[in-house]
Amino acid sequence: MLAPRLLNKLIVHGERVARIVEVEAYGGREPDPAAHTFRGLTPRTTAMFGPPGHLYVYFSYGVHWCANVVCGDEGEGAAVLLRAAAPVAGIDEMRMDRPTARGEADLLRGPGNLCRALGITKEHYGADLVTADMGIELRDDGTSPPENPVITKRVGITKEAARQWRFYVSNEPSVSRPR
DNA sequence: CCGCCGATCTTT
DNA sequence: AAGATCGGCGGG
C-alpha cells in the first residue's frame, strides 16, 4: 500500500502550495467495489487506468471536483484520493476561491474543498504531476511521511465500507471529519 | 454540537 | 436512482 507515502508530500499549482495530510486508496489488483474502475474502462476512468503519476479528476454530486493521483501500473486502475491538505503558500489566492472557509485549516479540508482551493477542475484531467505539463506538480521537500499514520475506514462510501484504506497525519488540523 | 437536506451532474 | 461532497439551517 503506497497511499500513505503520499502523506506530507506537496501538491503545487502555480503559486499555491499545500501539504497532503489525508488520503484514501481506491482500486488496484484486488477487486474494490468502491472504486470507479471496478466495472472496467469507461470514458471517465481512462486516466485512472493510465500510467501512474497522473491526475484523475472526477465531478462529485454535480457540484465538486475531486482529485486523485494515479498510483497503479497502466491498466491496473488504482488511485489515491487527495482528501485534505494543509496550506503552505498562495494562501491569499486560496481564500479568494474558498470564501466560506473560516480559518486556514478549512481551506483544503475535504476533497472538494482541496480542488477548489488549488484551482483544480476537469481541465486538469490526466495532468502529468512529474513533468507538471499543466502547471500541477507533486513535490517532495524532504519531509518524511508519518511513521504512524492514523488508519481508518474510507469516508462516504457504502460498498466495501469496512476496508481500512484511509490514512491521515495525526494531530493535523486540516484533516476532514470524522477525525 | 448534531443531523437533515438541497444543489446538480455523471454513471448505472 | 445513487453517488469517493459541502454548507446552511433548524433543533437540542
Residue pLDDT, tens place only, A51-72: 999 999 999 999 999 999 999 9
Nearest to A15 by CA among A96, A81, A122, A128: A96
pTM for this predicted structure:
0.96
Number of other residues whose CB lies within 10 A of the CB of residue A111? 25
The pLDDT value given to residue A178: 76
The pLDDT value given to residue A81: 98
Does residue A32 belong to any structural domain of this protein? yes
Residue A63 Cβ < 7 Å to strand B? yes
Cα angle A34, A151, A169 (rounded to 5 degrees) comes to 115
Does residue A174 belong to any structural domain of this protein? no
Does residue A177 belong to any structural domain of this protein? no
What CATH number is associated with residue A146? 3.10.300.10
The pLDDT value given to residue A175: 97
Q: Give the domain extent around A72.
A: 3-168
- Count of domains in chain A? 1
Ranges of chain A with pLDDT below 50? none
Residue A92 Cβ < 7 Å to strand B? no
The pLDDT value given to residue A148: 96
What cell was used for A29? 489488483
Residue A100 Cβ < 7 Å to strand B? no
Nucleotide lying nearest to A64, CA to C1' measure: C5
Three-class SS state of A88: strand
